[in-house]
A = this chain, B = another copy of it.
Amino acid sequence: MDRVNRTAHPFDKSRLEALLNRRFFYAPAFEIYGGVAGLYDYGPPGSSLQANIIAEWRRHFIVEDHMLELDTTIMTPAPVFETSGHVARFADWMVKDEKTGDVLRADHLVKNVLQARLAGDLEARGFAADKIKEDEKKKKKKIKTTAVQLPDEVVKEYESILAQLDNYSGPELGQLCRSHDIRNPDTGNQVGEPQQFNLMFASSIGPTGQHPGFLRPETAQGHFLNFSRLLEFNNGRIPFASAQIGKSFRNEISPRAGLLRVREFTMGEIEHYVDPENKSHVRFAEVRHIVLPLLNRFVQESGSTQVTKMSIGAAVDKGIVANETLGYFLARIHLFLLKIGVDPRRLRFRQHMANEMAHYATDCWDAEIQNSSGWTECVGCADRAAYDLSVHSARTGHPLVVRQALKEPIVTEREVPEFNKKVLGKTLGRDAGLVQRVVGEMSQEELVRLKGELSQGSATIYADEKQIALTPELLTIERKTFKQSIREFIPNVIEPSFGFGRILYSLLEHSFWCREQDVERGVLSLPPLVAPTKVLIVPLSAKEEFDPLIEEVSMKLRRCGIFSRVDDSNTSIGKRYARNDELGTPYGVTLDFASLQNRTMTLRERDTTDQLIGSIDDVISVIMGLVHGALTWEDACTRLKAYGGVQAIE
């Protein structure tokens, strides 16, 4: 479809937002009550788009890898998050305007102010305005840019701060505010010292008010607490994965970025349990060749954001990605995002820096999608190691472990001291305990030496600056055989975690363009796989004689599992198609008087606005091929005739 020029008009976020609002993809929740920051409702097309993305996620991950699905509760008693560390550490740094008391997120404040200064610098240096990132200009709460040139070394310093922004602690952010005179841009006032704000919504369970609870900020703990049951369901074997789709909640400090930062969101989380001594993946060979754009932590810590393209096989071989299981998921995430329509040129995998990592993670890579707000974390892929299972085991006394029968028992021999405690006490008095401790802590080599001395009749050991004589009556040392037939261990957890709202919004940006001949005519080029509606049925007129035909086409499509909608509103066909271009509907069929006479139907493709014609059944069969991915539009053009009818509607 190269003949369609999708870049005739530069991306205009306000146009996209107007479209999404007009067509009710989503809208601020409680809008008629003035809305609440960070809460959004999905309307019919947004709900369908989300449902389609989630359905594909279920097929791509859960079905494909036989994962065990869960549905655990959102409301969680406090002790669970005390153990997991969320009560103490799941917090952001906030600062207060010293005069108004307005609350700002500290890292966002630093970022926004420094970016505005850099933009002002560019302007002062006479660079074209389009060099300044669109998102900085379009933000509703944008910071006013003043064209002030900065010294070159200050520009470098700001860029370096921004590159490692996620790496700063709260006190460091406070230091940055002071040393760079960063103030609340809305008021010009100074801000106070950064303080931690816990992001979990708190509530209370039961009528007495005595049982504090939190809304989960992630679904993961629900998996971990059920680990023993899951393991049993999987016949005691690992590796395996559990998966869950559900809502989580984060009481963000001052969310202003639309769907990208919300207080309630739908996520998909996979917890893949592996043997800590063997993180290989049985299907890694299938993805080995896939080339990913990687941005590792060393590159970032050097102040750069240069991506390296590399096959995941090579990345694992070189130790850039820690293990095959992590690598397998990065590749599968990549495939999933491309399949639903994310632009591969605007996707990268970024490794977390040391300070940035969640408290439970030992390594973490984010799939970041570029949109008008910059590179946005949409999928996190963390190695949580044994952290969660260990802490819950310790707190509850319920062992969250795997027990494996060893194929061959491990047989070991060891020197073991045995004390004649009665004689020992009588002979040594208060030193008896000291001797037991010191001997008990001896290495195998030391025990062998002591055994040799005792076999000579006596030995001397040194303890607490004392010299103590020992004889074979006091203790003997014998070589014993040990046989271990069960290996018990806490598995490690690799966790791919998806924020569907962020993916959905980024996808909408990637899909949006305006027709070359008319910037007012927006199109969402969503792939048929995820498009809210696959086919629009457009009767030429609202006359009742079309009803049986509409019903027939609608039912035949439904039988093929294809979701269609009828638009029999009283506007022109052109307007109806334009409306559905905005809704991302890939195909439209028109029923006209020829349909009544000859049982023909025209088929329109959204992006090209090409129209084909054929018998109703042929058109439906072509649509089936198109929607299920068996045919391209080029194929369709060879199967059906081009339609040159008088529908001067484009």
Contact = CB atoms under 8 A, between A and B. Distances in A.
Interface string A197-228: 10001111111100101010000001001101
Contacts of A48: 69
A75 B558 CA distance: 35
The 7 closest A-B pairs by CB, nearest first: A32-B398, A42-B71, A41-B72, A47-B69, A44-B68, A32-B396, A29-B73
A590 B40 CA distance: 50
Given A30-B225, A75-B215, A201-B203, 7 more contacts: A32-B400, A41-B71, A42-B71, A43-B70, A43-B230, A197-B207, A201-B205
B47 A205 contact: no
Nearest to A200: B203
A440 to B, nearest CB: 33
A39 B263 contact: no
Contact of A30 (B80, B204, B232): B80
11 contacts: A23-B233, A29-B72, A39-B73, A41-B71, A46-B71, A63-B558, A73-B264, A75-B263, A203-B203, A205-B263, A207-B253
A255 to B, nearest CB: 9
A79 B33 contact: yes
Contacts of A205: 36, 201, 251, 263
Contacts of A42: 70-72
A77 B264 CA distance: 13
A229 B70 contact: no
A50 interface: yes
Contacts of A94: 207
How many copies are assembled?
2
Contacts of A68: 43-44
Nearest to A199: B207
B201 A264 contact: no
A56 B63 CA distance: 19
B75 A39 contact: yes
A103 B207 contact: yes
Contacts of A70: 41-44, 47
A74 B32 CA distance: 17
A83 to B, nearest CB: 8
Given A24-B233, A74-B247, A226 B33 contact: no
A342 interface: no
Q: Which of A69, A254, A263, A264 has the most CB of B within 10 A?
A: A69
A476 B200 CA distance: 68
B225 A32 contact: yes
Contacts of A513: none
Contact of A43 (B30, B63, B74, B229): B229
Contacts of A263: 75, 205
A69 B44 contact: yes
A395 B201 CA distance: 27
A235 interface: yes
B30 A77 contact: yes
Interface in A375-400: 392, 395-396, 398, 400
A256 interface: no
A581 to B, nearest CB: 16
A227 to B, nearest CB: 9
Contacts of A31: 225-226
A357 interface: no
A99 interface: no
A253 B63 CA distance: 39
Contacts of A289: none
Nearest to A35: B77
Interface in A19-65: 23-24, 27, 29-33, 36-37, 39-44, 46-48, 50-51, 63
B225 A33 contact: yes
A563 interface: yes
Nearest to A208: B103
Given A47-B69, A71-B41, A75-B263, A36 B565 contact: no
A76 interface: yes
Contacts of A396: 32-33
A211 B36 contact: yes
A66 interface: yes
